[in-house]
Amino acid sequence: MVAREKLSRLKEKFGTAIQRADLPGAGRLFVFVEPAALKAICQHVFRDLDARYIISIGADDRPFSGKFMVAHNFAFDKESLLTSIATYLPADNPKVDSISDVVPAANWAEREIHDLIGIEPVGHRYLKRLVLPDGWPDGVHPLRKDFAWNQVPEGYDDTREFKFDEPPEGCTVVPFGPFHPTLDEPAHFRLYIEGEMVRGCEYRGFMVHRGIEKLAESVLTYNDIPMMAERICGICGCVHNVAYAQAVESAAAIKPPPRAEYIRTIMLEIERLHSHLLWVGLACHIVGFDTLFMQSWRIREPIMWIAEKISGNRKTYALCVIGGVRWDITPEVKDELRKLLDKLEAEWTPVVAAVSKDKNIQKRTRGVGIADRALVKNMGLVGPVARSAGVDIDCRRDHPYAAYDRLDFEVITEGGCDVWSRVLVRAKEVFESIKIIRQCLEKMEDGPLQLTIKDELPVGRLGLSSVEAPRGESHHFVITGENNRPRRWRVRAPTYQNLQGIPAMIKDQQLADMTISLGSIDPCFSCTDRMETIDLKSGVTKVWTQEELLKLTRTKKT
């Protein structure tokens, strides 16, 4: 067994620094280690054992064990193993050795832990504020258990401004965002420009952070959270929905019935189809090729209709509950879906053929937004960005979930490392998705949709789940808890890692290539920021001042 073998290798090398380990089943390994050895162990796992970095998690475990917890998650993709290396820290003045100089991809995650939990990553070279808003007082950490979900911190200062770094010598600053036609969501890049060349950038995002994880830990229940998780993202909502449900199921050792697994797979692939077609269209729009933009969205439209037929919604399918799904695929829908796939295939084939021969598009995308193998490794880049660099990873095959272990499909890779390769990867993956759905419709067996869960879920168990979203791996980490809700739930959307690769991808490129480079990772800022809510209750439009808005958000109306 892979997990056992990895564990014995770690024990051999680090001896008593490995305090205890948990091997809850195939493909999962939890190792609890001495805080002092954490960095060395992570370095060994990342560099010597060549694991892929996923995410770091901080948790306030004081009410339960009197300690803080930090975990670094890694994936052994070739051996189908997800592992979490965790350590407990003392309750007062928690500090942990930063791993970001040996695992550069941990940069943001450690800053987030510092912001939200207040665990200081010692030795982090760039410990700037990442998640919290500019006016948030120092030393107040909203994800700690003694901070209520609706609490307003003392000393919130509206006038405090974010301090940007000094631009390098000879460069002018071009502000890109928070609002820009190619950004569908607010995010701010400060580009350092020399002539038409980008020399560097600074990112300030997390403008739509709404504390969804806090909400889940304090007010929602296990079966509320999937609906909330879905609303993290408007494109790959179902991915978060499934990933959360699977993380809880893996923690509680529940296996949903086979029919539910097939339905999850079908909905995930429907979502991938719509997302890929949407993205190819957007990429074309960014480089000014609006005809293909319109055509690929036209081809996409029937996918939205079938999703509506199955779930009642074009998006936000509200699919999963713990231990099953809520919608069935009726024989009538089955037929319709088959016909739709045939039509889709017939329409998409000539588009791909035309695009792959088009010199004009290649001119704008070849050699642009380079992310090579080294960057993929160091920054933990995932999805089409990794596959376009020839890194053969895909959670559907590497860490099979739902019904993927019973299906036959290919993982598309390209070697160009550039935007063009990403276009090809995503265009071709459409055909694989069609193949997968067809197999699901063929193999799907009759049976119940949901498991009846009579007992309470076990408390204090860890669950991991990786789901391959259209943009890359979405990773959810759950610690089960009391009161029918998790103690900690950490979401890592693919953009969280891919966005960290952007500064390297746009450096020393033309400004004109910035938008398509950024577009090529298919950034999802609300995924990264996690949670954005819009109230549609009243149709009245009113212009709110900032103070009024803050007041509104802080007084609870029922």
- Which spans of this chain sit near another protein (rule: CB under 8 A)? 172-175, 180-182, 196, 284-291, 293-295, 298, 360-361, 363-364, 510-515
Amino acid at 270: I
CA-derived radius of gyration, the chain:
23
What minimum distance in Å lies between the beta carbon of 436 and another protein? 28
Our measurement of the distance from residue 36's CA atom to the centroid of its chain's CA atoms, rounded to an integer in Å, reads 29
Residue 479's DSSP bridge partners are 462, 488
d(CA 533, CA 459): 30
What minimum distance in Å lies between the beta carbon of 511 and another protein? 7
Amino acid at 403: A
Q: 3-state DSSP helix/strand/coil percent for the chain, to nearest 5?
A: 45, 20, 40
What minimum distance in Å lies between the beta carbon of 365 and another protein? 9
* Residue number, 99 or 518, with CB nearest to another protein: 518
What minimum distance in Å lies between the beta carbon of 499 and another protein? 19
What minimum distance in Å lies between the beta carbon of 517 and another protein? 12
The C-alpha torsion from 152 through 202 and 104 to 247, rounded to 10°, is: 40
What minimum distance in Å lies between the beta carbon of 286 and another protein? 5
What minimum distance in Å lies between the beta carbon of 501 and another protein? 21
For residue 493, what are the CA distances in angstroms to 288, 375, 410, 528?
28, 18, 23, 6
For residue 133, what are the CA distances in angstroms to 116, 210, 214, 281, 375?
11, 11, 16, 33, 29
Residue 112 CB partners (closer than 8 Å, separation 6+): 58, 130, 131
Residue 191's DSSP bridge partners are 174, 201
What minimum distance in Å lies between the beta carbon of 202 and another protein? 15
For the record, the structure tokens of 149 come out as 């979900």
d(CA 368, CA 286): 13
d(CA 345, CA 358): 20
What minimum distance in Å lies between the beta carbon of 510 and another protein? 6
What minimum distance in Å lies between the beta carbon of 287 and another protein? 4
Helix/strand/coil (H, E, C) string of 180-236? ECCECCCCEEEEEEECCEEEEEEEECCCCCCCHHHHHHHCCCCCCHHHHHHCCCCCC
Determine whether 67 is exposed, middle or buried from the number of CB atoms within 10 Å of its CB (0-12, 13-18, 19+).
middle
What minimum distance in Å lies between the beta carbon of 362 and another protein? 9
* Residue number, 293 or 404, with CB nearest to another protein: 293
| Length of the chain counted residue by residue | 558
Which of 313, 277, 312 is CA-nearest to residue 296? Answer: 277
* Residue number, 88 or 293, with CB nearest to another protein: 293
* Residue number, 329 or 344, with CB nearest to another protein: 344
**Number of Cβ within a 10 Å radius of residue 152:** 9
What's the number of CA atoms in the CB half-sphere (13 Å) around residue 155? 4
